Amino acid sequence: MRDEESDRLVTIRRFRNVPDADLARAVLATRGVQAVLADVHARTLIPHLIHEVRLQVMLSDAGRAIEILQQESKEHPSLKGPIARLRQCPDCGSYDVSREPLACALAILCGLLLGLPFLIMKAHWHCHTCDCRWKV
């Protein structure tokens, strides 16, 4: 049972577009960590329903993969954008977090209807591991 638990895939990062996710996957592959992209085809076929592509690794490789992405983003400026923005849950420390889509939609709707700048609204984040929600 212990081996089955360490062999499951966990999401370490979510990306808004496929090229950024594929770049992160390639960086991990060059360092010997196997990673897969989830929801790539669904994102292509129904982009209005699937907003993110998930970068997944084996649970046993998750810590090493996160360290590699953080280290590579410091050494190579071209990787800084999508990889340096790893968010972490303040409660459980998980990296399996994403931005709440309702907050984004509400901000845009307020901007369009009321003419108010929606950039002043704080981002709402959600942890998929412990179900924690917080503002940044």
Domain boundaries, the chain: 2-86, 97-136
| Rounded average pLDDT over 36-60 | 81
* Amino acid 34: pLDDT: 94
Confidence of residue 1 (pLDDT cuts 50, 70, 90): very low
The residue ranking higher by pLDDT, 19 or 25, is 25
CB of 55 closer than 8 Å to CB of 23:
no
Confidence of residue 128 (pLDDT cuts 50, 70, 90): confident
Long-range contacts of 29-35 (CB under 8 A, 24+ apart): 31/68, 33/57, 33/61, 33/64, 33/65, 33/68, 34/58, 34/61, 35/65
* Whole-number Cα distances in Å, 117 to 48, 70, 98, 99, 124: 24, 33, 23, 19, 17
pTM over 0.75: no
